Structure 1
Amino acid sequence: MKSLKEQISSLAEAHLPDESHYLVDVSIEEKSGKKRVNVYIDGDEGVTIQVCAKLSRTLSEVLEAEEWIADAYVLEVSSPGVDYPLQNTRQYRKNIGRDLLIQLADDSEILGTLLEVNEESLKVNTKEKAKGKSKKINRKEVDIPLAEVVKSIVQVSFK
């Protein structure tokens, strides 16, 4: 039998408005005896509040009718937000040209501009301060296997 997370994930994917929208993640937390279900969706061109609201209504109707969650719960459907780690290649593609802070499996970090993405790797133009007192920034293109990526966060610039 599928877990609650898997059931909600399948239901959400089945009720997305079209192929340009996709499920990013479903998280279920329990606080003070109340479940909190967060459904994160995105779209190739972003996601509107109307899409989130419609999906929320649909999920709520099924959760109530099928009694998937016995006790009180809170359901929230939203886009992941800028501080949420990238989860799939579609999200990476959407962020080509933006700066990412990438944490690798060996605990090292890479800061750079995302240039390309495919199913196996990312190509990033890294930024490193030159050694010594120089203010120069060294740049180098590197390929990073996705299997080595623990977390990638889009860096917001206010320039």
Structure 2
Amino acid sequence: MAGPKNERTSSGGSATAEAVRRVVAPAVDAEGLFLESVSATRAGARSVVRVTVDLPEDAVGSLGSDALDAVSRAISAALDADDVVRGVYVLEVSTPGTSRPLTELRHFKRARTRLVTLSLVDGGEAEGRLQDVVAGTDGDELVLEDGGRFPVATVRQGRVEVELKRVDDADLGDDDDDDDADDAGDARTQEG
């Protein structure tokens, strides 16, 4: 999920990813989110600052557009207050999305309830709905819905499989229009 792109002008010093990370981390923490990555690059006459945020590892689900908007505003304010980026810059705030490879324990924890494909160290592959990440006898284990268990040490990486809406979650035309109206109120469209 990509957030808004903001163009700003600053008179501050040269921006490095580490300097930007230092400035934006408290703003991200204050919003109750996890700072996944930061990059600051020069693109012609301006800089591009990209910040990727995620929910904490114990959360299940996706980061909503309202939370993404709020953290974008907080990050922008922090950058403006510290003046860490010199000249004109574009701020892009986004979430990791489903294309992020699952390589860290926190990535797997965030993927709970999702359909995943695991690439194993031995060259094999496993697929299933990731039910949980638990402490096992040989370290942390990934537990699939079908009962399969895979020690994290045996997994080279994983990936979330994009699913069309599951039938059991789909709105099949029931008469509960009040719930539909509430759900529609939570949708937000953002343009970059």
TM-score bracket for this pair, using the shorter chain length: 0.5 to 0.7
Q: Which residue type is aligned with residue 15 of structure 1?
A: A
* Aligned counterpart for 1:85 among listed residues 95, 101, 108: 101
Structure 1 unaligned spans of 5+: 127-138
Q: Equivalences for 1:132-147 in 2 at 5 Å? A: 141-145=148-152, 147=153
In 1: Cα distance, 2:94 partner to 2:68 partner: 6
Confirm or deny that 1:123 pairs with 2:142. Answer: yes
Q: Report if aligned partners of 1:98, 1:155 keep a CA contact under 8 Å in 2.
A: yes
Aligned to 2:43: 32
Offset of residue 58 of structure 1: 1.3
The alignment's TM-score, normalised by the length of structure 1, stands at 0.65
* Aligned counterpart for 1:153 among listed residues 145, 150, 159: 159
Counterpart of 2:98 in 1: which secondary structure? Answer: coil
More strand per residue: 1
Counterpart of 1:101 in 2: which secondary structure? Answer: strand
> What's the C-alpha RMSD, in Å, of the aligned pairs?
3.4
Q: Report if aligned partners of 1:37, 1:76 keep a CA contact under 8 Å in 2.
A: yes
Structure 2 unaligned spans of 5+: 1-16, 167-192
Aligned residue pair count: 140
What is the CA deviation profile of residues 62-111 of structure 1, one whole-angstrom value per residue up to 9, with x for unaligned ones?
Answer: 1112111223322222332121234665553453343212345x483523
In 2: Cα distance, 1:86 partner to 1:49 partner: 23
Q: Report if aligned partners of 1:24, 1:80 keep a CA contact under 8 Å in 2.
A: no
Q: Report if aligned partners of 2:122, 2:154 keep a CA contact under 8 Å in 1.
A: no
Aligned to 2:80: 64
% identity of equivalent residues: 20
In 1: Cα distance, 2:131 partner to 2:106 partner: 14
The alignment's TM-score, normalised by the length of structure 2, stands at 0.56
Counterpart of 1:52 in 2: which secondary structure? Answer: helix
Runs of 4+ in structure 1 off by over 6 angstroms are none
- Structure possessing the higher relative contact order (Cα contacts under 8 Å, 6 or more residues apart): 2
Offset of residue 56 of structure 1: 1.0
Counterpart of 2:87 in 1: which secondary structure? Answer: coil
In 1: Cα distance, 2:106 partner to 2:52 partner: 17
